[in-house]
Amino acid sequence: MNKRVVITGMGVVAPNAVGLSNFEEALRMGKSGIRFQEELQRLKFSCQIAGKPEVSEKKIAEYFTALQLRGLNSSGLIYGVMAGTDAWKDAGLKIEESETPQWDSGIIFGTGILGVDKFREAIHLIEQGKTRRLGSTSVMQTMASGISAYLGGILGCGNQVTTNSSACTTGTEALLMGADRIVAGKAKRMLIGSCSDHGPYIWGGFDAMRILPAKYNKNPTIASRPMSATACGFVPASGAGALVLEEYEAAKERGAKIYAEVLGGAVNSGGQRGGGSMTAANSEAVIRCIKEAIECSGISKEEIEVINGHLTATTKDALEIENWKIALKRKDFPYINSLKGMTGHCLAASGSIECVASVLQLDKNFIFGNVNSEDLNPQISNLISEDKVPRKTIEKSVKIIAKSSFGFGDVNAVVIFKKL
């Protein structure tokens, strides 16, 4: 018998806020976390702005011991540990020192590239013949599964502990993978999430592709413009999001707060065919993914009230909405919003951070506004009514929200959340 999956804990380290309550406030206010980066100017990047979480050394010391901090140089791992630990505690779960693992608890925590700065440090030391100075944590910081392994050790999880990687789809895919495990009765709870490093070695390739906005270096907060007629590329960013998924009966039995239910979802790929490519989505695949997610969730397409889109502030935003319109075939299009006007594009971390934002809207009865979308792209206004693209926060009780993520390599994921 299939199990129901609910969300009982969340954590977030985003460019515009760190911590759940701060993040909710930032969403409601339309607060931007995009700032000028002196390092990118020094390195002669065309785009010299980015979204980077503001985390002090004092704050980091709340999550790591002095010994753990020695030689720690992986921003993505730091963000992931913070978000994951916060989500676990938010779920009311204890972090205990015990010889016995928690056999019913697992982790799927994704990333794109982990520990790039540590890699750079290691390369220099090795080339200088100073390999022994690498330290004992260099492997853990630079292997993709370092984040799930690190969290697994902190929390003592004895179920599946692994890492996934599917570009911008990573976080949403991790959520669906974790939910599948619970539905199948193979785990009672799964900590899922994703993280992304910050810095020039992550963002340089995108700058070289000329897909980042270079004309807003002096006005960073208005640079990321989802669905806007003046959108000219996504702003690179970093961070982490995490959610605790739990089998409904287990959560109910221990009296846990339930944020929302994961009704279902779907993942697929366009195979880089039919208009799809390494950087563009195959529309047929996107439409199929949306339809499958709705069918899997056991709802009608009319029940979706809000879509939290991928919507990266590129020329493809209109196509994304067109794909949703074709898939839904509704007269009244749902409200649609994008977080990226506030945070930029957090790459591998984007799906999980945006899942947290989606669930917060359900739990706290609001729909956050689209920042920098005042001049709506005419292609979009020809598809849907402008009032479905709110510019300011709307105080409104919402029952069902759809979250979509579309990633580099023509990969797609859609998940449906329901308020209980």
pLDDT tens for each residue of 197-248:
999 999 999 999 999 999 999 999 999 999 999 999 999 999 999 999 999 9
pLDDT digits (tens, 9 = 90+) for 67-85: 888 888 899 999 999 999 9
Closest by CA to 190, choosing from 261, 262, 105, is 105
pLDDT digits (tens, 9 = 90+) for 142-173: 899 999 999 999 999 999 999 999 999 999 99
Mean pLDDT over each residue of the chain, to the nearest integer: 96
Closest by CA to 263, choosing from 358, 196, 374, 343, is 358
pLDDT digits (tens, 9 = 90+) for 374-415: 999 999 999 999 999 999 999 999 999 999 999 999 999 999
Distance CA 218, CA 214 (A): 10
Give the pLDDT confidence score for residue 140 in this predicted structure.
81
Distance CA 248, CA 370 (A): 33
Amino acid at 216: Y
pLDDT digits (tens, 9 = 90+) for 175-198: 999 999 999 999 999 999 999 999
Same fold, 5-253 and 264-418: yes
Give the pLDDT confidence score for residue 1 in this predicted structure.
57
Name the percent of the chain lying above pLDDT 70.
100
Instruction: Give the model's confidence band at 339: pLDDT under 50 very low, under 70 low, under 90 confident, else very high.
Output: very high
Give the pLDDT confidence score for residue 67 in this predicted structure.
87
pLDDT digits (tens, 9 = 90+) for 27-46: 999 999 999 999 999 999 99
Closest by CA to 10, choosing from 225, 177, 244, is 244
Q: Is the pLDDT of residue 345 over 70?
A: yes
Specify the CATH superfamily of domain 264-418.
Thiolase/Chalcone synthase (3.40.47.10)
Q: Which of the pair, 272 or 121, is modelled with greater confidence? A: 272
Tokens of 127: 């080339």
Distance CA 223, CA 181 (A): 39
Give the pLDDT confidence score for residue 73 in this predicted structure.
87
What does DSSP say about strands 105-111 and 161-162: parallel, antiparallel, or unpaired? parallel
Class for the domain spanning 5-253: alpha beta
Give the pLDDT confidence score for residue 97 in this predicted structure.
84
Tokens of 235: 């702003």
Helices vs strands, H then E, count in the chain: 16, 15
Name the percent of the chain lying above pLDDT 90.
88
Give the pLDDT confidence score for residue 354 in this predicted structure.
98
Question: In the chain, what is the straight-line distance between the N-terminal and C-terminal CA atoms, in Å?
Answer: 21
Q: Is the pLDDT of residue 290 over 80?
A: yes
Q: Is the pLDDT of residue 119 over 80?
A: no
Cβ contacts of residue 11 below 8 Å, gap of 6+? 19, 20, 82, 83, 84, 85, 86, 87, 88, 89, 90, 193, 240, 241, 242, 243, 356
Per-residue pLDDT averaged across 260-287, rounded?
A: 96
- Burial (CB count <10 Å: 0-12, 13-18, 19+), residue 136: exposed
Give the pLDDT confidence score for residue 285 in this predicted structure.
98
User: 3-class DSSP state for residue 163?
Assistant: coil
Q: In the chain, what are the domain boundaries?
A: 5-253, 264-418
User: 3-class DSSP state for residue 144?
Assistant: coil
